Amino acid sequence: MDTPFGMAAMSAFSIPGPRLPRTVRRPAAVTTRARLAGMDAVLDPTGALFWPAESLLVVSDLHLETGSSYARTGQMLPPYDTSLTLAALAAAVERHRPARILSLGDTFHDPFGAERLTPEARDLIGAMMRRAAFIFVTGNHEKDGAAALGGRVADAVTIGGTTFRHIPSAVVPDTPEVAGHLHPAARIAVKGRSLKRRCFIGCDRRLVMPAMGCLTGGLPVTDPAFTALWPAGPDPRPAVHLIGRERVFSLGAT
């Protein structure tokens, strides 16, 4: 097509409008190591965490089938979120080749999400299940909706001395704890521009995982929900690890 894209789409009624973005070759993902919640962890830019010592990949708040969940109430959000989120998960699995995959709750956006999965999505999950054992921690959104997929379902699990549960405990836990639920995101101001990204926030005692779902919004880490987890005092301050497109940026203690 000779007409430049910009000019061709000038009229609201002209067809074709905007076209598919060119596939841009992306640089390889850069992971970051951090000591968090009793783990020597590898933080992946998809929002996944890999714990080499246990060959465990942890992901949280996939919120699969968010689009269709809204569609049921008349807000027709794009039906592509599940495949995008699963593609991110698959990329992390490919990179780290874990023996176990732990989904830390809210795997689905609502209790009936599993029933709405497309056959393609089911196949993709099936393929991953054949490569690694799945553990589904139950979240507040889905009840035990993920049970339909097979794999182990539990309210909380302890692996290598670290406890994994969906909602962070209100008091500072005695043993290291990894949780999700809060969808942490951080805002930083750079050169007069403010950027907001999902993030890991944690210290050696506890960690809150970012949400992996691509339609899942974030709660600023300045929210009281987070300050309550790390009350002022002698305890270690949490560090924020910001998720960029291909890299995790560690921004130090808050």
Partner 1 sequence: MTMGMTGNATARRVAADTAATDRAAADVGAADTAAADMASANPAAVLPEPFAGWFAGQGWAPRPHQLALVEKAEAGLSSLLIAPTGAGKTLAGFLPSLIEIAHENRRRNAPVREGPHTLYISPLKALAVDIARNLERPIAEMGLSITHETRTGDTPQNRRRRQKEVPPDILLTTAEQIALLVCQPDAARYFSELKVVIVDELHALVTSKRGDLLSLGLARLRRHAPGLRTVGLSATVADPDDLRGWLVPQALLDPDALPDLGAPVRVDDHRGVPRRRAEAPPSGLSELIVVEGGAKPDLSILKTEARVPWSGHMTRWAVPDVYALIKAHRTTLVFVNTRSQAETLFYELWRINDETLPIALHHGSLEREQRRKVEAAMGRNALRAVVCTSTLDLGIDWGDVDLVVHVGAPKGASRLAQRIGRANHRMDEPSKAVLVPSNRFEVMECQAALDANYHGRQDTPAIKDGALDVLAQHVLGMAVADPFDALDLFEEIRSAYPYRTLDWETFERVVDYGATGGYALRAYDRYAKIRRRKKDGLWSITHPNVAKQYRLNVSTIVELASLPVRLVSRRGGTLTRRGPVLGQLEEYFLATLAPGDTFLFAGQVLKLEQVLQNEVLVTKTAQTEPKIPYYGGSKFPLTTYLAAGVRQMLADPAHREALPEQVREWLDLQAVRSRLPRTDELLVETFPRGKRHYLVAYPFEGRLAHQTLGMLLTRRLERAGAKPMGFVASDYALAIWALEDLSVFYDDAPNTMADLFAEDMLGDDLDEWLADSMLMKRTFRAVAQIAHLVERRHPGQEKTGRQITISTDLVYDVLRSHEPDHILMRATWADAATGLLDIRRLGEMLARVRAHIVHVRLPRISPLAVPIMLEIGRESVQGEGSEMLLAEAADELIREAME
- Does residue 176 interact with partner 1 by CB under 8 A? no
Residue 97 CB, nearest approach to partner 1 (Å): 26
Among 193, 232, 233, 234, binds partner 1 (CB under 8 A): 193
Cβ proximity to partner 1: between 207 and 239 the closer is 239
- Does residue 228 interact with partner 1 by CB under 8 A? no
Collapsed DSSP state (helix, strand, coil) of residue 93:
helix
- Does residue 28 interact with partner 1 by CB under 8 A? no
- Does residue 119 interact with partner 1 by CB under 8 A? no
Exposed, middle or buried: residue 50 (CB in 10 Å: 0-12, 13-18, 19+)?
buried
**231 DSSP assignment:** -
Length of the chain: 254
Residues 51 and 92 sit within 8 Å (Cβ to Cβ): no
- Does residue 236 interact with partner 1 by CB under 8 A? no
* Distance set, CA 247 to CA 33, 60, 137, 195, 201 (Å): 12, 18, 27, 15, 16
Cβ proximity to partner 1: between 74 and 231 the closer is 74
- Does residue 237 interact with partner 1 by CB under 8 A? no
Binding mask 48-87 for partner 1 (x = CB under 8 A): -------------------xx--xxxxxxxxxxx--x---
Cβ proximity to partner 1: between 38 and 67 the closer is 67
Distance between terminal CA atoms of the chain? 51
Strand partners, 50: 42, 57
- Does residue 234 interact with partner 1 by CB under 8 A? no
Among 28, 170, 171, 190, binds partner 1 (CB under 8 A): 190
Residues 84-113 contacting partner 1, CB under 8 A: 84
- Does residue 13 interact with partner 1 by CB under 8 A? yes
Among 214, 221, 229, 239, binds partner 1 (CB under 8 A): 214
Angle value at C-alpha 201, between 196 and 206, nearest 5 degrees: 165
Distance CA 40, CA 53 (A): 8
SS3 content of the chain, % helix, strand, coil (to 5): 20, 30, 45
Distance CA 55, CA 149 (A): 22
Count of residues binding partner 1 (CB under 8 A)? 59
Distance CA 199, CA 219 (A): 10
Distance CA 75, CA 89 (A): 26
- Does residue 215 interact with partner 1 by CB under 8 A? yes
- In the complex, the residues that contact partner 1 under the rule CB under 8 A are 4-7, 9-13, 15-22, 24, 67-68, 71-81, 84, 118, 187-197, 214-218, 222, 242, 244-247, 249-252
